[in-house]
Structure 1
Amino acid sequence: MEAMTLLFSHQLLSYKPYLRYSFLHEYGHIFTLNETQTKINEELFLEEEPSEEQLKQDKESCKTYYHNGRCSYEDSYLFQYFQRFWADIYEQYQKIDWDNQKEYEEFFFTHEERFFNSYQGTSPPEDIADTFAFFVHSHSSIGAQPEMKYQKIKFFYEYEELVELRTTILENLYHLSIEDEEFY
């Protein structure tokens, strides 16, 4: 696995401001789940239907955070994020019966101060991707708020390369609006 691709429908012929959040969320997945951040068991990944035993062994061999065939590197954004914001509730999260919506609702409302929306609580990768979108859209002073959901935004400011990425994204959005002569 050497590349990740973000595909958009051919029906998306022009930039739509309301899609900006989705683009940023999906980009958050790309930079937190790529090969510099996670080790992918390519053999298992390419298997059409891996056995339960194969999946179990792969997961057990991961000493950090494991998600969908990916084992986070110790210094990865996702594992650092997981340790800080999920490690203390992960055992409870793993017990959720996803066929029973009430169980997830109970988990979410028990930990509501950690999330901006209920989708973030569905997994650490969804949480970090959503928080990245909030990071790009939010003013830097928002991290001063005491609730954990704001501390998650502050997390991104600890990485100079992510602050630079945020700046580049915002500058490009500005230039896009000037070139299109539309104010988003």
Structure 2
Amino acid sequence: MSIFKNLVELVSVLFDRDKANIQMIVFQEDVYPHVDIYERKLVLPSNMITQTLQADMIRILMHEFGHMLTWNETDFVKSDNCAADRYHSIPFEECYNDDSYMTLFYEAFWKDYDEQWLQTGYGTIEERLAFYEDHKDSFVSTYATVHPYEDIAETFSHFMLTPYNDNPQTVPERKVNFFYQFPELVAHRAFVLKELKDRKDEMLSFY
């Protein structure tokens, strides 16, 4: 039980509740780690906890916090009609505000992609692989190509956990540096890194 207790304590420290406001952590069997932003719930796999999370625990938590931070009900309105310069998630009927992280990320990195890549993903594995092969130099990971929501969450985890690059040359590097324009995120990054450093001895099982 100690690993579950430690996980709950770690989430309570690393997740900024003013921004993400997680209401509950649920352990379930046979699930991938994910968040439900509408119920403000973080779901972690109870039966795969050591295999799935031991090596990548911090990165996974930062990815899911990235979802809570950027896929946030305070940043969008429900609508099936949206201005062209805003990010619009058609399947969820979510139209993002002008100053939301999602709209600003979309404007900087996604607006030139065809509409089909902005929404439900790609119809087949072959199409996904083809999209990745055509654009892999623009993403921090393979998984980031799945959807703009995954791209921003994956990139956010890199922002939180990799050193600052003061001379970005590639699209992935510019994506990571995107978050440095927000003082509140820079401050939270500094807080998280200090907490991780201070807690390293007690979290060795997560590395």
| 2:87 aligned partner, one-letter code | Y
Determine the C-alpha separation between the residues in 2 that align with 1:156 and 1:139.
Answer: 13
Of Structure 1 and Structure 2, the greater helix share is in 1
TM-score (ref. length: structure 2): 0.68
TM-score (ref. length: structure 1): 0.76
Partner of 1:146: 169
> Please, which of 133, 153, 164 is the counterpart of residue 157 of structure 2?
133
Determine the C-alpha separation between the residues in 2 that align with 1:9 and 1:3.
Answer: 18
Does the 8 Å contact 1:96/1:103 carry over to 2? Answer: no
CA offsets, 1:76-115, max 9 Å, x none? 0011000100001143625998332222222221111111
Does the 8 Å contact 2:96/2:103 carry over to 1? Answer: yes
Greater shift in the superposed pair: 131-140 or 1-10: 1-10
> Please, which of 44, 58, 62 is the counterpart of residue 82 of structure 2?
62
| Structure 2 residue matching 1:144: 3-state secondary structure | coil
Aligned-residue offset at 1:27: 0.4
| Structure 1 residue matching 2:95: 3-state secondary structure | strand
| Structure 2 residue matching 1:7: 3-state secondary structure | strand
Of Structure 1 and Structure 2, the greater strand share is in 2
Determine the C-alpha separation between the residues in 1 that align with 2:128 and 2:163.
Answer: 31
Determine the C-alpha separation between the residues in 1 that align with 2:203 and 2:57.
Answer: 18
| 2:65 aligned partner, one-letter code | Y
Percent identity over the alignment is: 27
Aligned-residue offset at 1:160: 0.6
Aligned-residue offset at 1:176: 1.8
CA offsets, 1:43-94, max 9 Å, x none? xxxxxxxxxxxxxxx43x1222122232211100011000100001143625
Determine the C-alpha separation between the residues in 2 that align with 1:160 and 1:94.
Answer: 28
Determine the C-alpha separation between the residues in 2 that align with 1:71 and 1:140.
Answer: 31
Q: Unpaired segments of 5 or more residues in structure 1?
A: 42-57
What's the RMSD between the two structures over aligned residues? 2.7
Matched, 1:99 2:128: no
Matched, 1:18 2:38: no
Closer, same or farther in 2 for the Cα pair 1:111/1:10, shift >3 Å?
Answer: closer
Number of aligned residue pairs: 163
| Structure 1 residue matching 2:181: 3-state secondary structure | coil
Partner of 1:28: 66
| Structure 2 residue matching 1:153: 3-state secondary structure | helix
Aligned-residue offset at 1:148: 0.4
Partner of 1:123: 147
Closer, same or farther in 2 for the Cα pair 1:121/1:69, shift >3 Å?
Answer: same
